[in-house]
Amino acid sequence: MRPPPLSSLFRHPPSPLVALESPTLRQAGIHLLVKRDDMLGIGPELALCGNKWRKLQYNLQAARDEGHKTLLTFGGAYSNHIAAVAAAGVAFQFKTIGIIRGEQPAGLNPTLRFAQSCNMGLQFISRQAFRDKGSAESLARLQQQYGSYYLLPEGGTNALALEGCRHIVEEVEQQAGQLPDYWCCSLGTGGTFAGITSALNGRAKALGFSALKSDHLKEEVERLLKPSLASSPLRGDKKGAGTWEINTDFHFGGYAKFEPHLIDFINGFYRQHGIALDPIYTGKLFFGLFYLIEEGYFPKGSTILAVHTGGLQGVAGFNERFGELLRLR
């Protein structure tokens, strides 16, 4: 039987673009638009969603075109990417293998239970082995173990992922009728932000919010942007300089780290706007964004676009681990 076509990933209505209203925004004279990529969803529990939809669409097409039957990828135990790849496997009939960082826990968390329910093969490796996962020896070993596979890097970031994220800009331009002044999203590996920045091509400011504690993301985004800038009109001049920036003030200590006021913000945001945020990426993005808005960082009259990149599958695991802190229903 032929596997289902991937056209649903390419021919879909644009995710909604919604304007937020609040006294803070009115007072600051800011027009805030949210690109609801969290509402894109396909596969079991619609777990192929948000920026994973954008990052995986061309990769899944490449895997299919190259005749691969298996997708192999890497991630942490709560990874949105692992959940998305598992769902993609069911939706498009790929076998999936998830190589998970760290020792196998006694019981699986909701993300891994979901992956397993999608028949993803899970292999746990030590943190040291995980750091070496990209080496030729490690990849060859995996090939021996699993046969031929299409390799999706951790977080799904590669050139094809950037290509998918560029569509966010195209869609918003059409929906809004003009280019917002600021484009904000959360960064983990930097792929989503780099895709958006490359599509903006210096026409508006991209402002990324790091979910990580480390400072390496600026170099990583520079590296990711190189191939696309090489073929863009920005090449050879400095027009792109200063048009993107990464804020590192709102990571709360990094993955799975938080403070009570972040939780209060996420719960309050849900009550006020009816939009659920996750505690790892989008919660920190919107927390930082509203902080900067209140501080007067953005000139009055600015239009800001914030991308809701999804990640809501992680809420169950967060609540299970930390005691039902997030009330998003």
Contacting residues toward ligand PLP, per CB under 6 A: 50-51, 80, 155, 157, 186-193, 278, 281, 309-311
- The maximal CA–CA distance of the chain, rounded, in angstroms, is 61
Q: Among residues 196, 211, 201, 218, which one has the least CA distance to residue 277?
A: 211
Nearer to ligand PLP, 33 or 221 (CB): 221
Nearer to ligand PLP, 80 or 96 (CB): 80
Nearer to ligand PLP, 48 or 125 (CB): 48
Whole-angstrom distance, CA of residue 115 vs CA of residue 79: 10
**Rounded least distance, CB 145 to ligand PLP, Å:** 26
**Rounded least distance, CB 35 to ligand PLP, Å:** 12
Contact, 196 vs 305, CB < 8 A?
no
Nearer to ligand PLP, 130 or 281 (CB): 281
| Cα within 13 Å of Cα(97), Cβ side | 20
**Rounded least distance, CB 63 to ligand PLP, Å:** 19
Angle at 118 between CA 114 and CA 120, to 5 degrees: 95
**Rounded least distance, CB 80 to ligand PLP, Å:** 3
Nearer to ligand PLP, 96 or 210 (CB): 210
Nearer to ligand PLP, 186 or 247 (CB): 186
**Rounded least distance, CB 192 to ligand PLP, Å:** 4
Other Cβ atoms less than 10 A from the Cβ of 101: the count is 18
Amino acid symbol at 172: V
Residues sharing a CB contact under 8 Å with residue 143, sequence separation 6 or more, in sequence order: 149
**Rounded least distance, CB 60 to ligand PLP, Å:** 16
Q: DSSP for 166-221, please give it.
A: HHHHHHHHHHHSS--SEEEEEESSSHHHHHHHHHHTTSSEEEEEESSS-STHHHHH
Whole-angstrom distance, CA of residue 45 vs CA of residue 43: 6
**Rounded least distance, CB 18 to ligand PLP, Å:** 18
Tell me if residue 148 falls in helix, strand or coil: coil
Whole-angstrom distance, CA of residue 245 vs CA of residue 193: 10
Nearer to ligand PLP, 205 or 251 (CB): 251
